[in-house]
Amino acid sequence: MYFDKAETYSREDIEKVQLVRLQSTIERARNSRLYRDRLSGVSASDIRSIDDVRRLPFTTKDDLRGSYPDGLLTVPHEDFVRLHVSSGTTGNPTAVYYTQNDLNSWADLMARCMHMIGIRPGDTFQNMSGYGLFTGGLGVHYGAERLGCLTIPSGAGNTSRQIKLMQDFRTSAIHIIPSYALYFAEALEKRGIDPKTDLNVRVALIGAEPHTEETRRKIEDSLGIKAYNSYGLSEMNGPGVAFECEHQDGMHVWEDAYIVEIINPETLEPVKEGEVGEIVMTTLLREGMPIIRYRTRDLCRFIPGTCACGRQHRRLDRIKGRADDMMILKGVNIYPMQIEQVLMAMPEVGQNYLIELDNDGHIDYMRVRVEVKGEFFIEDMRALNALQKRIQTSLRNEILITPKVELVEANSLPKSEGKAKRVQDLRSVY
């Protein structure tokens, strides 16, 4: 039933393992240039319980960039076998190095996730995620092989070839980012392929970018599969950090491998149980490049209580967005996911949308460009106008300001390779 003994740990077991691993992580981290000074005031004996992690300094994205390319390494160069560079949208990227042991423990964690949702040897697993520097490619790939699946490294895009592979090799499980999954479902429909009868896929890992429950349902319904949310970030290896079990009620974060805190990003104090804050993570298994109290900028909360599956590893709720994604318009804070939630609950809405922030010379405003499914994008102007008004009203109810809404034809908005870019800020800066 379990891939790994750690899945059966009680809270007490988890905390015991965490404490021992935290102490050794601190000692290892001291060997890096970044942590040598930072940790000079702390000794492992100061860490008597897991709460003492709060005595350690935070590590930020800027620290990683400032130490680029190799300021966090704790062992000699020749001990490393892999390097990923994170998709930094601004400034220096961040480099993440892995030793062979690091790759092995990462693959184990990933295999644990996939096993949890019923993927087994005998499954054919198509990894429809970008390969290369993006950790979603090789990270999931090695997990699938570790689990014993026949693994097809199909990569992202090239939809016709994806479909052919699925048909020829009876693919039963896939990994796909949510924005591509929506597009893929539409592409099947266009080709007259009904995934429920013509394909063999039953389960998908979806993640790598924020998405709503409405989007998950849309993916599940249109592909006739179960889709499980997968969370990870390059700084913490990549995918395999937290993952949903069969109950689809939050993502179990593997606490034998990470210490997770949720803090108020302003006061830096822990939030109250169940409140939303910034995820802060400490690696416990990483040998070559341990990271202590990393401020992820991801906003989330722990789901209180324990899961019906019995696993005691705490559950992260759906990622609400990144602190960096928050838009401020007319003094109102708005997250892209609030908009997605409204749009994806509407059957007429297609697979893509774009939020534009603009200024007409006097005031800022928001324009939401929404793709409408072919069968609804008809010549009947009255019906389209009514739909446009309906979307506008629902958005206003959610975000408290009235955006302009522009309906566009399916597949007319720019599609990004890899993670979707949902917001464009066109406001001129004075």
Q: What tokens were used for 120?
A: 């087994």
CB 148 within 8 A of CB 158: no
Kindly state the number of chain residues that form the binding site for Zn ion, as judged by CB under 5 A.
Answer: 5
For 152, the 3-state DSSP assignment is: strand
Angle at 88 between CA 87 and CA 92, to 5 degrees: 130
For 141, the 3-state DSSP assignment is: helix
Binding mask 105-144 for ligand AMP (x = CB under 6 A): ------------------------------x---------
Residue 335 binds which entry of ligand AMP, Zn ion, none, with Cβ cut-offs from 5 to 8 Å by kind? none
Closest CA to 223 of 169, 251, 247, 187: 187
For Zn ion, the binding residues in 295-314 under the rule CB under 5 A are 307, 309, 311
Distance CA 192, CA 71 (A): 53
One residue of 130, 207, 290, 418 binding ligand AMP per CB under 6 A: 207
Kindly calculate the radius of gyration of the chain based on its CA atoms and give it in whole angstroms.
22
**Part of the chain binding ligand AMP (CB under 6 A), chosen from 4-12, 107-115, 207-215, 367-375:** 207-215
How many CA atoms lie within 13 Å of 277's alpha carbon, on the beta-carbon side? 21
One residue of 59, 74, 124, 229 binding ligand AMP per CB under 6 A: 229
Give the shortest CB-417-to-ligand AMP separation in angstroms.
14
Residue 290 preceded by cis peptide, ω within 30: no
What is the pairing mode between strands 173-176 and 124-127?
parallel
One residue of 109, 208, 407, 420 binding ligand AMP per CB under 6 A: 208
One residue of 210, 240, 288, 290 binding ligand AMP per CB under 6 A: 210
**Part of the chain binding ligand AMP (CB under 6 A), chosen from 8-16, 179-187, 231-239, 348-356:** 231-239
Give the shortest CB-175-to-ligand AMP separation in angstroms.
12
CB 300 within 8 A of CB 317: yes
One residue of 23, 31, 60, 87 binding ligand AMP per CB under 6 A: 87
Residue 234 binds which entry of ligand AMP, Zn ion, none, with Cβ cut-offs from 5 to 8 Å by kind? ligand AMP
Q: How far apart are the first and last CA of the chain?
A: 60
CB 235 within 8 A of CB 258: no
**Part of the chain binding ligand AMP (CB under 6 A), chosen from 102-110, 223-231, 269-277, 346-354:** 223-231
Closest CA to 28 of 44, 15, 16: 44
Distance CA 240, CA 232 (A): 6
373 binds ligand AMP (CB under 6 A): no
* 251 versus 299: smaller Cβ distance to Zn ion: 251
Residue 307 binds which entry of Zn ion, ligand AMP, none, with Cβ cut-offs from 5 to 8 Å by kind? Zn ion
Q: Which residues bind ligand AMP (CB under 6 A)?
A: 86-87, 135, 207-210, 229-234, 296, 298, 319, 322
